[in-house]
Amino acid sequence: MWKKTLTRNAPLFAAGLVLCLFGAGCEIPPPEVTVPGVTGMEQAEAEETLEDAGFTLGDVSEEYDDEVAEGMIISQDPEADELLEEGAGVDLVVSLGPEVEEVTVPDVTGMEQAEAEEALDEAGLTVGAVDEEHSDEVDEGIVISQAPEAGETVEEGASVDLVGSLGPEAEEVTVPDVTGMEQAEAEEALDEAGLTVDAVDEEHSDEVDEGIVISQAPEAGETVEEGASVDLVISADPEEDNTEDEDDQEEEG
C-alpha cells in the first residue's frame, strides 16, 4: 500500500524538488566556512583576513590590556576554527594597550625652570617644548605659563610645555660717536645714551693727542640694546724716536 502511494506521488516529489532547486519553493542555506584565527593581528590585517575567508566584520570593541600591544586583536567571536555561515560577521576586541594612570597637572608658573621641571617629574610628567618671551612683570628665568594648565587631568607620562621669562624687553639705542673726545667726556656721553664703558685700552698715536679716544667698538651709528658696553681705545704718550736720541748722544760724545 505504502509502495503504491510512494509511486503514485513520485511526480509530485520530483516537481517539488525542481521548484526548490530553482528557488521557487525553498531556500538553500549558505555553506559553512571555517573561521580563521585573527587574534594577535593588527586590526586592518584581521579585517582583510576575514574578508578573504568570506566573512564580514561584526562589532568592534576596544579594551585595555597589559599584555597585548595597542591596535592588536585580543579576541574574536566566533573563535578560530569554528564553522560559520559564509558572509556572517565576526566580532573583534582590539587592544588599547596598558591602561595608563591619570594624574593632575601641578601649577609650576612662578617657579624657576629647574624647579618647575623637578615638580613635573615628581608628578609623573615630562617637560615638552620650552619657549621664552619678554615680560615686564615676570623676572628672567621664571615660568610665565604652562600647557596643559594647572589642575587639568592627563595621562601619566604626558608632556607639559613651558614659557619662560626673558625679563623686560630692552630698548635699543644708537651708539654715539665718542672718538676725538677725552676719556671722561666719552664715558659721560655713553652713560647719557644708556650705555656703559667696558674695556679701555691705550695705544700710541702720532696723530691723536694723549688722552683722546682714537676708536670705539661698537662704532658710532650702530644699534645695540640699552645697557650694552662700548670698548674704547685711548691715545697714549707719543713714542719717542729712539733713533734720534741715539744720534744726539753720539754727536755729544
CATH fold, domain 172-236, is: Trypsin Inhibitor V; Chain A (3.30.10)
The 10s digit of each residue's pLDDT in 72-102 is 999 999 999 999 999 999 999 999 999 889 9
CATH of domain 33-99: 3.30.10.20
Taken in order 44, 49, 52, 58, the sign of the CA dihedral is negative
Domain boundaries, the chain: 1-30, 33-99, 102-165, 172-236
CATH fold, domain 102-165, is: Trypsin Inhibitor V; Chain A (3.30.10)
Please state the pTM of the whole predicted model: 0.47
pLDDT band at 240 (very low <50, low <70, confident <90, very high): low
| Mean pLDDT, the chain, whole residue set | 87
